[in-house]
């Protein structure tokens, strides 16, 4: 195969697909991605749930600049301590229930998931792990093991042993959680499954069944957290609290960071028997923590009522479009179902086209596991005017679906 035309492989970079979009980025400004050649894109997906506060938010930029002038790296996480780590942890803890009073900053969402699984095994002395059908938790061997898309897992087996999956929203299936279960991990709102919102009673019963069996109830809010669903953490809308919480994506305000929160007593188990139960060179990196510090400042400025009003307007207009079969939404976390994958591809590519021609387009994107739907997750900081423009671009792209 000739890779010369691939903008990644052809230039000495790894590629994750043989047909990357390959748009050349110049910069970002609020909800806009600025392309080389003068085109711009409304960021309709916030970099898949990362740029919740848009591009170049002053609170995040200021926090990063201040830390850049002070220090970057000193030592593998867990020996030296820096103010910015304490400040990031304090901002995070102020947003969480009081029992989640200890945080481990790591490098990515998948690493946070791996830490949570390791911690659950260490805490319970058990080895059986459970995920939920439709769950996506990342691409390390551990995170992939508890994700449910078999097509994506099969080539990499063997993965972790003793992993099984609960049916989504199925009360009877909770009986599979037993005294050998170390943890059940579930996205509070499933992202890659097409923005699937759990039944409240089921999620509560899942949490209770874990507790009754001494298993850790692990919530993954890597994609649905940080204001995406209309509250800082989605679990607050379902009256459940996790034993262990995984975070990432928008947490760093655009910096690469993941985090695990639990209570201090539980977290302390990683410090002994063996010590260094999870070590990671760049964990708690000062610049990543400065991103977290800035992201919470940006989040505090978001008016969630306005986000709800704007996204309800998006939902109403999208649902009324002739090409749309269904819209699922919680806050600014949106799935738009069309008739089939061809319609999705046509809509997504039509959204991009004007920007490729030096004009204004919109970035929408596929789900890995739901081919007949596309995702929308606009920046929470977009103004009324920007959201109206973004919606007009999405509707225009949908008009291309015959
Ligand atoms: C719910 C969820 N968990 C975990 C991950 C993995 O995060 P990362 O890609 O930072 O490893 C993702 C990434 O899309 C995600 O959506």
Residue 262 shares a structural domain with residue 378: no
Q: Please report whether residue 4 resides in a domain.
A: no
Residue 375 shares a structural domain with residue 262: no
Q: Please report whether residue 1 resides in a domain.
A: no
Q: What residue owns the CA closest to ligand 1's atom 16?
A: 223
Q: Please report whether residue 2 resides in a domain.
A: no
Residue 150 shares a structural domain with residue 261: yes
Q: Please report whether residue 243 resides in a domain.
A: yes
Residue 18: predicted pLDDT? 87
87 CB contacts (<8 Å, ≥6 apart)?
289, 293
Least confident of 18-22, 135-139, 140-144, 199-203: 18-22
Is 50's C-beta closer than 6 angstroms to any atom of ligand 1? no
Query: Which atom of ligand 1 has the smallest separation from the CA of 110?
Result: 11
Residue 264: predicted pLDDT? 97
Mutation probe of ligand 1 site: the residue of 47, 49, 110 with most atoms within 8 A of C-beta? 110
Domain count for the chain: 2
Q: What residue owns the CA closest to ligand 1's atom 10?
A: 109
Q: What is the SS3 assignment for 187?
A: strand
Query: Which atom of ligand 1 has the smallest separation from the CA of 140?
Result: 11
Once rounded to an integer, what is the mean pLDDT over residues 159-178?
98
Q: Please report whether residue 34 resides in a domain.
A: yes
Ligand 1 centroid – CA 320 distance (Å): 31
Mutation probe of ligand 1 site: the residue of 45, 109, 288, 330 with most atoms within 8 A of C-beta? 109
Examine the fold and report which residue of 243, 266, 300 is the final residue of a domain before the chain moves on: 300
Residue 265 shares a structural domain with residue 394: no
Is 108's C-beta closer than 6 angstroms to any atom of ligand 1? yes
Q: How far is CA 34 from CA 56, 362, 363, in A?
A: 12, 11, 12
Query: Which atom of ligand 1 has the smallest separation from the CA of 48?
Result: 14
DSSP 103: E
Q: Is the pTM of this model over 0.85?
A: yes
d(CA 386, CA 383): 5
Q: What residue owns the CA closest to ligand 1's atom 2?
A: 137
Residue 219 shares a structural domain with residue 152: yes
Is 109's C-beta closer than 6 angstroms to any atom of ligand 1? yes
Is 220's C-beta closer than 6 angstroms to any atom of ligand 1? yes
Residue 351 shares a structural domain with residue 292: no
Is 137's C-beta closer than 6 angstroms to any atom of ligand 1? yes
Is 136's C-beta closer than 6 angstroms to any atom of ligand 1? yes
In the predicted model, what is the mean pLDDT of the chain?
97
Examine the fold and report which residue of 300, 318, 343 is the final residue of a domain before the chain moves on: 300
Mutation probe of ligand 1 site: the residue of 49, 116, 132, 138 with most atoms within 8 A of C-beta? 138
Q: Please report whether residue 81 resides in a domain.
A: yes
Ligand 1 centroid – CA 222 distance (Å): 6
Residue 136 shares a structural domain with residue 149: yes
CATH of the domain at 308: 3.90.1150.10
Mutation probe of ligand 1 site: the residue of 107, 134, 222 with most atoms within 8 A of C-beta? 222
Rg (CA), the chain: 21
330 CB contacts (<8 Å, ≥6 apart)?
189, 195, 197, 224, 229, 230, 234, 237
Residue 273 shares a structural domain with residue 322: no
Residue 402: predicted pLDDT? 78
Is 248's C-beta closer than 6 angstroms to any atom of ligand 1? yes
Is 187's C-beta closer than 6 angstroms to any atom of ligand 1? yes
Peptide bond into 369 cis (omega under 30): no
Tokens coding 161: 């042993």
- pLDDT above 90: residue 3: no
Q: What residue owns the CA closest to ligand 1's atom 13?
A: 138
Residue 144 shares a structural domain with residue 269: yes
Least confident of 78-82, 113-117, 190-194, 231-235: 78-82
Which parts of 234-337 are beta strand (E)? 244-247, 258-262, 326-330, 333-337
Residue 72 shares a structural domain with residue 192: yes
pLDDT, tens only, 283-334: 999 999 999 999 999 999 999 999 999 999 999 999 999 999 999 999 999 9
Tell how strand 40-43 and strand 360-363 pair up. Answer: parallel
Band (4; pLDDT cuts 50, 70, 90): confident
Query: Which atom of ligand 1 has the smallest separation from the CA of 248?
Result: 10
Ligand 1 centroid – CA 138 distance (Å): 5
Least confident of 78-82, 92-96, 245-249, 317-321: 78-82
Residue ranges making up the domain that contains 327: 9-53+303-399
Q: Please report whether residue 330 resides in a domain.
A: yes
Ligand 1 centroid – CA 37 distance (Å): 31
Residue 248 shares a structural domain with residue 147: yes
CATH of the domain at 288: 3.40.640.10
Examine the fold and report which residue of 278, 300, 322 is the final residue of a domain before the chain moves on: 300
Is 110's C-beta closer than 6 angstroms to any atom of ligand 1? yes
Is 229's C-beta closer than 6 angstroms to any atom of ligand 1? no
Residue 19: predicted pLDDT? 86
Q: Please report whether residue 3 resides in a domain.
A: no
Residue 340 shares a structural domain with residue 375: yes
């Amino acid at each position: 195969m000739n890779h010369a035309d691939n903008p990644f492989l052809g230039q000495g970079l790894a590629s994750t697909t043989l047909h990357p979009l390959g748009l050349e980025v110049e910069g970002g400004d609020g909800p806009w991605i600025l392309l080389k050649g003068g085109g711009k894109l409304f960021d309709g997906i916030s970099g898949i749930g990362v740029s919740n506060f848009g591009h170049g938010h002053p609170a995040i930029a200021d926090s990063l600049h201040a830390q850049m002038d002070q220090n970057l790296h000193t030592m593998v996480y867990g020996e030296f301590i820096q103010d910015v780590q304490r400040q990031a942890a304090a901002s995070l803890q102020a947003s969480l229930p009081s029992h989640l009073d200890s945080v481990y900053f790591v490098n990515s969402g998948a690493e946070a998931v791996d830490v949570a699984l390791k911690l659950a095994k260490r805490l319970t002395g058990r080895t059986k792990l459970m995920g939920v059908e439709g769950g996506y938790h990342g691409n390390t061997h551990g995170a992939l093991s508890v994700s449910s898309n078999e097509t994506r897992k099969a080539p990499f087996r063997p993965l972790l042993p003793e992993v099984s999956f609960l049916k989504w929203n199925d009360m009877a299936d909770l009986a599979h959680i037993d005294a050998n279960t170390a943890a059940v991990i579930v996205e509070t709102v499933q992202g890659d499954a097409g923005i699937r919102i759990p039944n409240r009673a089921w999620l509560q019963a899942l949490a209770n069944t874990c507790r009754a069996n001494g298993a850790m109830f692990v919530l993954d809010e890597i994609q649905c957290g940080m204001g995406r669903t209309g509250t800082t953490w989605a679990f607050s809308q379902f009256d459940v609290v996790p034993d262990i919480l995984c975070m990432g994506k928008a947490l760093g305000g655009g910096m690469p960071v993941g985090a695990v929160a639990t209570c201090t007593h539980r977290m302390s188990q990683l410090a002994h028997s063996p010590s260094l139960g999870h070590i990671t060179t760049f964990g708690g990196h000062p610049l990543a923590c400065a991103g977290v510090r800035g992201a919470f400042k940006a989040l505090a400025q978001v008016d969630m009522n306005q986000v709800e009003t704007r996204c309800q307007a998006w939902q109403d207009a999208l649902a009324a479009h002739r090409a749309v079969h269904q819209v699922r939404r919680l806050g600014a976390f949106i799935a738009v179902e069309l008739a089939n994958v061809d319609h999705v591809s046509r809509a997504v590519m039509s959204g991009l086209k004007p920007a490729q021609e030096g004009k204004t387009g919109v970035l929408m994107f596929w789900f890995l596991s739901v081919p007949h739907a596309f995702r929308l997750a606009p920046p929470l900081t977009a103004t009324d005017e920007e959201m109206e423009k973004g919606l007009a671009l999405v509707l225009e792209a949908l008009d291309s679906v015959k």
